[in-house]
Chain A
């Protein structure tokens, strides 16, 4: 399939216009279409094409590396880099297309696309029988890449339609009338317009639904608005050993250090969850809309409290999914430094979420261990659910919490849980009719951290102390391999924020044995997995580190001379193979005696009516056949004309003027007569 002239250039211009590289596109278009203006061609072999294809593959790899190391500096995520990669695909394929259009060959052996094959193997691989013209796929690639842009111009669709129609015009079957062809194309364009508008609207609708669904199914720590707990669930609670956070501290920190991701203020038991359909207990964050946190002048420092009086400084390393996530922060976090994200938001319950960040962040947190002084309690922080209230009030009365000062009440609650309850990740069948909390308080007296945290919140609230349910991680494990604290998925924890003496303090009533119980789940291959995790972390640190932008620039500057050197080597090696295409003038090809004979038009006319001549059939036989068997009118008269044509064509003396005129006029009159008969 050969494209019409200048279509490829137009497609490149569309690509350049859409991707913001019009100057590059103009140069490339001139380079490609310029082949029509010059007769010089390279005599390229299959091996040469294979070398160029290898160069394209290297270019692609280089582009991937470049985008990988520069995406951090630009602040865009993986998807942005992928988007950019798709935009640059025409640039990657271009050397191969240029090689084809400037070569003596109009097609490429598909075997030449087997890149990275050595000379020894190339010599034994037989040429493939399948050859193809690369310009048509390249045209499609240009249109494809032009679509990868955020710029929502209304002209993109008409432009794409126009280019495709241009390409289709050149291959329009002769049996397709212009009216039918045009009518169907207009219909296709109109339907396509309706279709793509509908697709866009449908996608918005689906996204809304999926977002809602994701909010419903998101587990604790991942959703700042709602934490679905395992309270009431039956069976063993299992979590993985995957390392999710790494924490470095300049000075030793008291362990366990609790790093919070979110806190919640409203408890609901026996809520119906969608996936899987079951009754679960959830903690909700009421009245907790997020507001933006402005960055400081350097763009990577974020102040969470107006007057930070921090004394503790830790560095947290965490990965962000698609550049988004909730930050894990110690209680009383006042300032976050060295965090290259585009946007930070926080809610009044202390959850901090970031967007437009790199895949891995390593941020320093300055915090005040004496608690958080912001966001004073509201009525929601004092409310106990009506169905739990009788039991909670009864236990609070037994402990005489109401009569105690807050600090003493805190200690009493901690002693209550430490002495009479035990930690367990297994929950059996619940007593019929009892709420999970009733079962926990009165029968099992065992549960995991979510039970203890929820029960503590409810007891403290019954004692008049505002309390919240907090989720995050407990930092306890020091890794000698990495010389820092590692936090695993199974270190996910729930505890309580109690408002005492004008500040929110961490209160953890889960028996200290929980860490040992969780550690028992460690797999025997964990050291190897940790080693692998450490190696991956080192790569990620390099990948997302500060020096990446410098490295990208260095790579770019190194690759330019290397690329130029490769091109120079190729051109030099092929200097002997450059040939001037022997272009025989078109007029010379067509010039033969009798070329303008009207007989040819007459034959075409008969052929269109179904009286086609076989390729092997002389004209005289053909006339005899169609005249005798198939009823061509006045076939006898045609034989006379054929005799004149033969003389005009082959007789060295040619026809006299009178005979020439006779041939012309008789063919014309015969044709006209046929047209009349037809009407």
Chain B
């Protein structure tokens, strides 16, 4: 039964795609008229709509048949950037080359994203409140990272080529895979389009949408960083050398000064000046629970916005979240770039099989080194309230942003601790307004 349902949905999606892309607006009107006259014109003795049906049917069939010979021999080459941003148009050029000895004109070009239909396992394994065909559509929408449109291709001379400006409109973050380019040509009536597909694999990483975040005062005190910047990032070595001292158990191996050991016949280590600097944490709550996918996406966008706005010249920024395990990415003071952090955020997924305690443990384990913490949360329940309380009790200055669905935002505001200082409730769909009030 599941198999039947799955293939029925696949078929329905394919038919929907066919209807949407194969017909021109005039073709939609003709097809709509055809269906309406077919449904109502059965009683041929009482009306004449069956005559309209017959003519429209012949028009559309002839139009479709006339496009069967459309087999252009074309090659395409994209000049596509690696990154795009959700909600921002991404313009690039596609070079189309005519491999035939005939002039090709009247073509239209359309980027073809990889098949967005979910697999069977993905569809039946997907969790969520919506079921049935609505769920199917939701998954398809999630896979459609970019919106593509048709672009006119100028007349292509024999063996000639032409650059076509193309614009993608990224809808959501993630990696958009472009399977190839579809060329369309209208039938002689202008009702139906014939398609020819030219494979050309490519991809573009769509970074999360970002909001304009005001300068948030994150004045936290500088904290001792054990191991200095080197351990903060696990790369690079920019600490200041102070002198030599005897080895003490627990000193890192790479701090041993081998020459002095050889001279003194006992282990001697290099001593560095202690590192004190400001370290921020950007905590992203990925535990969907009762929160919607929209709220999660907004939370990721908020995190990306703060990742870009926090000054990482003189401070470090840790991005902490949980997927299948707790992750921490550090940027700042030359350790890692914010662009890398945005790439991470472009691929972050919601977590349903773990509890908030996992994130709490990961953050509180670093509280000694943290100066300030920006928490982007998906709710304001007791575990989250306690977590924020523990952070503040540990002297970490904390800014809390709770992203809620419109129907839950008021309850979150009115709930326990909802109006506490430093806690801001943002409503899905009005995030920009909420951020502007920070």
Binding site for B on A (CB under 8 A): 1, 18, 79, 83, 86, 132, 136-137, 139-140, 143-144, 146-150, 152, 156-157, 160-161, 164, 167-168, 171-176, 180-181, 184-185, 187-189, 191-193, 195-196, 199-200, 203-204, 207, 607-612, 614-615, 630
User: Is the pair B54, A203 in contact by a Cβ cutoff of 8 Å?
Assistant: no
Indicate whether B290 reaches chain A with its CB closer than 8 angstroms: no
Q: Are B29 and A140 in contact (CB under 8 A)?
A: yes
Which residue of the partner chain, among A136, A156, A168, A610, contacts B48 with CB atoms under 8 Å?
A156
A-B interface contact total, Cβ < 8 Å: 166
| Chain B contacts with A in 174-198, Cβ cutoff 8 A | 185-191
Other contacts beyond A148-B40, A188-B62, A607-B155: 20, CB < 8 A: A83-B47, A147-B49, A147-B52, A148-B47, A160-B51, A160-B55, A171-B26, A173-B188, A175-B105, A175-B106, A184-B188, A184-B189, A185-B59, A192-B54, A195-B57, A196-B51, A196-B54, A200-B45, A200-B50, A609-B155
Interface pair A607/B33, CB less than 8 Å apart: no
Partner of B33, one of A143, A172, A176, A191: A143
Complex contact B36–A144 (CB within 8 A): yes
Which of B160-168, B265-273, B319-327 contacts the other chain? B160-168
Q: Which residue of B lies closest to A18 (CB)?
A: B48
B357 to chain A, nearest CB (A): 38
Q: How far is the CA of A193 from the CA of B40 in the complex (A)?
A: 19
Nearest chain B CB to A62 CB, angstrom units: 22
Main secondary structure of the interface of B (DSSP, over half): mixed
CA distance A176 to B188 in the complex (A): 5
* Given known contacts A86-B40, A175-B185, A167 and B26 CB-to-CB distance under 8 angstroms: yes
- In the bound assembly, the distance between CA atoms of A613 and B20 in angstroms comes to 31
Q: Which residues of B contact A608 (CB under 8 A)?
A: 105, 155
B157 near A149 with CB under 8 A, answer no
Chain B hits for A193, CB < 8 A? 54
B58 touches A192 (CB 8 A): yes
Interchain nearest-CB distance for B16 vs A (Å) = 15
Contacts of B52 in A (CB 8 A): 143-144, 147, 160
CA distance A176 to B185 in the complex (A): 11
Q: Which of B81-106 contact A (CB under 8 A)?
A: 98, 103, 105-106
**CB < 8 Å: which of B30, B44, B157, B186 contacts A200?**
B44
Chain A residues with CB under 8 Å of B62's CB are 184, 187-188, 191
**Which residues of chain B come closer than 8 Å to A204, judged between CB atoms?**
44-45
> CB < 8 Å: which of B42, B45, B55, B165 contacts A164?
B55
Are B190 and A157 neighbours in the complex by a CB distance under 8 Å?
Answer: no
**Residues of chain B whose beta carbon lies under 8 Å from any beta carbon of chain A:** 24-26, 29-30, 32-33, 36-37, 40-59, 62-63, 66, 98, 103, 105-106, 154-158, 160, 162-163, 165, 185-191
A189 to B29, CA, bound (A): 18
- Contact (Cβ within 8 A) A140 B32: yes
Give the residues in chain A near B54, CB-CB below 8 Å: 191-193, 195-196, 199
The residue of chain A having its C-beta at the shortest distance from the C-beta of B43 within the complex is A203
Of the A-B pairs whose beta carbons lie under 8 Å apart in the complex, a sample of 7, sorted by A's number, is A1-B25, A146-B48, A173-B187, A173-B188, A174-B105, A200-B50, A203-B50
- CA of A196 to CA of B30, assembled, Å: 17
* Residues of the A chain whose Cβ atoms lie less than 8 Å from the Cβ of B41: 147
If over half of A's interface residues share one DSSP class (helix, strand or loop), that class is named, otherwise mixed; here it is: helix
Complex Cα distance, B50 from A149, in Å, reads 12
- Once A610-B155, A630-B160 are accepted as A-B contacts, the answer to whether A147 and B51 lie under 8 Å apart by CB is yes
Nearest 8 pairs of A and B residues by beta carbon: A610-B157, A612-B154, A147-B49, A175-B106, A196-B54, A192-B55, A195-B54, A176-B188
Whether the pair B49, A612 counts as a contact (CB closer than 8 A) is no
Assess whether A188 is in contact with B162, with CB atoms less than 8 Å apart: no
* B48→A152 contact, CB < 8 A: yes
- Chain A residues whose C-beta falls within 8 Å of the C-beta of B43 in the assembled complex: 203
State in angstroms the CA–CA spacing of A207 and B42 once bound together.
11
**What is the chain A residue whose CB lies nearest that of B93?**
A614
B58: A residues at CB distance < 8 A: 187-189, 191-192, 195
Distance from A71 Cβ to chain B, minimum over Cβ atoms (Å):
15
Most chain B CB inside 10 Å of its own CB: which residue of A18, A174, A191, A192: A192
- Assess the A630–B26 pair: CB atoms within 8 A: no
**Contact across chains for A610 and B103 when beta carbons are under 8 A apart:** yes
A588 to B188, CA, bound (A): 35
Q: State in angstroms the CA–CA spacing of A157 and B54 once bound together.
A: 10
- Specify which chain A residues have a CB less than 8 angstroms from the CB of B26 in the assembled complex: 1, 136, 167-168, 171
Q: Please give, as numbers and ranges, the residues of chain B lying within 8 Å of A160 by CB-CB distance.
A: 51-52, 55
Chain A residues closer than 8 Å to B53, beta-carbon distance:
196, 199
Residues of A within 8 A of B162 (CB): 612, 614
CA distance A456 to B26 in the complex (A): 71
- Give the CA-CA distance A186 to B372 in the complex, in Å: 77
Tell me the smallest distance from the CB of A365 to a CB of chain B, in Å: 33
A168 to B27, CA, bound (A): 10
List, in ascending order, chain A residues with CB within 8 A of B185's CB. Answer: 175
User: Complex Cα distance A143/B59, Å?
Assistant: 16
Determine whether the beta carbon of B106 is less than 8 Å from that of A174.
yes
Nearest Cβ in chain A — how far from B341, in angstroms?
31
A140-B32, A149-B47 known; A610+B59 contact, CB < 8 A: no
Report Cα–Cα, A184/B192, bound state, in Å.
14
**Are B188 and A180 interface neighbours, CB within 8 A?**
yes
- A149–B162 Cα gap in the complex (Å)? 54
Q: Which of B50, B162, B189 has the most CB of A within 10 A?
A: B189
* Inter-chain contacts of B63 with A (CB < 8 A): 184
Query: Contacts A181-B188, A192-B51, A612-B155 given: A1-B37 contact, CB under 8 Å?
Result: no
- Which residues in B have their C-beta under 8 angstroms from that of A136? 25-26, 29
- A136 to B32 Cα, complex, angstroms: 11
Q: Is the CB of B66 within 8 A of A184?
A: yes
A172 touches B155 (CB 8 A): no
Measured CB to CB, the closest approach of chain B to A376, in angstroms, equals 40
Chain A residue with Cβ nearest B36: A144
| Minimum C-beta distance from B160 to chain A (A) | 5
Output the least CB separation between A335 and chain B (Å): 34
Q: Is the CB of A164 within 8 A of B157?
A: no
Report whether A199 and B44 are in contact in the complex, using a CB–CB cutoff of 8 Å.
yes
Q: How many angstroms between the C-alpha atoms of A586 and B185 in the bound complex? A: 32
Min CB–CB distance B250 → chain A (angstroms) = 60
Rounded to whole Å, the gap between the CB of A396 and the closest CB of chain B is 52
Among residues of B, the one whose C-beta sits closest to the C-beta of A1 is B25
Report how far A184 CA is from B42 CA in the complex, Å: 27
